[in-house]
Amino acid sequence: MAQTSPLLTPVTCENTNITSVPFSNIIPVDSIMAVDEEIPTIDFFMLFSDDPSQQSKALDHLSNACEEYGFFYLVNHGVPDSVIEGALKGITDFFEVTKEQERKDYKKSNPTDRIMWGSNSHAGENREYLKVVAHPQFHCPAKPASFSEALEEYFKRFQDVKIGLARAISKILGFEECYIEKVFNLKSGFDVAAMNVYPPNFQSKGSIGVPSHTDPGFFVSLIQDVNGGLQVLSHKGKWINVYIPRNAFLIQIGDHLEVLTNGKYKSHIHHVVVDNNKVRRISLATLHGPSLDTFVIPAPKFVDDFTPLAYQGMTYKESLEVNGHHEIEVQSCLEQLRL
Ligand SMILES: O=C(O)CCC(=O)C(=O)O
Ligand SMILES: [Fe+2]
């Protein structure tokens, strides 16, 4: 962590080395009937409140959001509005200022690439994207300078949120506060930022922005410039429209937290539809993962006679590559991990 937020009590977390849903381009018909159901809102500050009853209420709320929904809005998180708006502006600048040919120079995909550009990679997709490895080392195209500076600041500031969530989720799972930091080795966590640009509907070819999928990792954080298009499949089997409050984050549980909890928490299927987008939409989805060499397996506490082991163990790197992808592509492998 570059800076420690006053919210987070410094505790010593030793760096112990304990050592999918595939993309589907079919948007189910019932997603057209997506509902505007309420998504839980979690107040980050309250998770660390000095008032024990407020803190316990906030943790209960988080526990319910993780177990029932698998996604929630995070407010009062301490990342300044200017930093969030700066990151989105930087991404806009990159896609507007950088010539198409220069963007395509990042298309090559070698296992060692830390920056990758792509466009409409799955059948029917309407999306251009740039993926960069944001942690443990930050990578970014150097130009425009406003872009790399704004993004670097955003990820620096987000580190406290990541560690804070790891501590709060460890607690609600009944572990000591540093459990997830240690077990996922978050100090060297492999974070990939996907910057997505969706065209307005008059320019898109079909209704799909990104096909249905889940994402690997501990969790995903998402910000966007305009609302519209992201839908998540809820525990009740309903597609829910996501409307992120201004400068809040959408947090979604990733595949590897599902594995760690042996399915107690679920990584939820989501997709983007572009039918109703009247304007171009930009999103920044960051997949916060364990370190590449972390061997992820269900924690013994979630395995018993009634709940048998439901996932096999694999290193994070192996799980990202098991379908022939490069690690920077960060594709789900939940299907391969399920026993
Ligand atoms: O753009 C969005 O709202 C979601 C993008 C997404 O799901 C992803 O990049 O994994
Ligand atoms: Fe996603």
Q: What is the pLDDT of residue 228?
A: 84
Q: Is 230 helix (H, G, I), strand (E, B) or coil?
A: strand
Angstrom distances, CA of residue 187 to CA of 50, 116, 250: 26, 23, 22
Residue 8 has pLDDT above 60, yes or no: no
| For range 153-182, the mean pLDDT | 98
What does the alpha-carbon distance between residue 201 and residue 277 come to, in Å, rounded to a whole number? Answer: 5
Both tokens of residue 231?
A: 């839908």
Q: Which of 208, 272, 329 to mutate to test the pocket of ligand 1 (most atoms within 8 A of CB)?
A: 272
- Out of 35-39, 105-109, 147-151, the most confident range is 147-151
Is the CB of 204 inside a 6 Å radius of any atom of ligand 1? no
Identity of residue 174: G
Q: How far, in Å, from the CA of 164 to the mean position of ligand 2?
A: 22
Region of poorest pLDDT, from 95-109, 139-153, 185-199, 216-230: 95-109
Give which of 280, 257, 76 is closest to 180, Cα–Cα.
257
Q: Is 30 helix (H, G, I), strand (E, B) or coil?
A: helix
What does the alpha-carbon distance between residue 275 and residue 102 come to, in Å, rounded to a whole number? Answer: 29
Q: What is the pLDDT of residue 141?
A: 94
Ligand 1 atom nearest to 242, measured from its CA = 3
For 57-114, write each residue's pLDDT tens digit.
999 999 999 999 999 999 999 999 999 999 999 999 999 999 988 898 888 778 889 9
Q: Are 197 and 130 in contact (CB under 8 A)?
A: no
* Longest CA span, the chain: 58
Is the CB of 194 inside a 6 Å radius of any atom of ligand 1? yes
Give which of 175, 185, 180 is closest to 17, Cα–Cα.
185
Q: How far, in Å, from the CA of 273 to the mean position of ligand 1?
A: 10
Q: What is the pLDDT of residue 197?
A: 96
Is the CB of 270 inside a 6 Å radius of any atom of ligand 1? yes
What does the alpha-carbon distance between residue 326 and residue 145 come to, in Å, rounded to a whole number? Answer: 27
Q: What is the pLDDT of residue 204?
A: 86
What does the alpha-carbon distance between residue 54 and residue 76 come to, in Å, rounded to a whole number? Answer: 14
Is the CB of 195 inside a 6 Å radius of any atom of ligand 1? no
Measured by CA distance, the residue closest to atom 6 of ligand 1 is 285
Q: What is the pLDDT of residue 14?
A: 44
Domains, the chain, with CATH or none: 32-337 (2.60.120.330)
Is the CB of 232 inside a 6 Å radius of any atom of ligand 1? no
Region of poorest pLDDT, from 4-13, 80-89, 184-193, 233-242: 4-13
For 210-261, write each residue's pLDDT tens digit.
999 999 999 999 999 998 899 999 988 999 999 999 999 999 999 999 999 9
CA angle 139, 322, 256 (to 5 degrees): 70
Q: CA 29, 238, 166, 296 torsion: positive or negative?
A: negative
Q: Is the pTM of this model over 0.80?
A: yes
Ligand 1 atom nearest to 127, measured from its CA = 1
Give which of 327, 339, 244, 331 is closest to 20, Cα–Cα.
331
Q: What is the pLDDT of residue 31?
A: 59
289: pLDDT confidence band, cut at 50, 70 and 90?
Answer: very high
48: pLDDT confidence band, cut at 50, 70 and 90?
Answer: very high
Q: How far, in Å, from the CA of 241 to the mean position of ligand 1?
A: 13
Is the CB of 230 inside a 6 Å radius of any atom of ligand 1? yes
Measured by CA distance, the residue closest to atom 8 of ligand 1 is 285
Phi, psi angle pair for 16, to nearest 5°:
-75, 145
Is the CB of 244 inside a 6 Å radius of any atom of ligand 1? no
Q: Is 274 helix (H, G, I), strand (E, B) or coil?
A: coil
| For range 12-25, the mean pLDDT | 46
Q: What is the pLDDT of residue 53?
A: 98
Both tokens of residue 110?
A: 């070698």
26: pLDDT confidence band, cut at 50, 70 and 90?
Answer: low
Is the CB of 242 inside a 6 Å radius of any atom of ligand 1? no
Q: What is the pLDDT of residue 319?
A: 97
The count of C-alpha atoms lying within 13 angstroms of the C-alpha of 81, restricted to the half-sphere facing its C-beta, is: 3
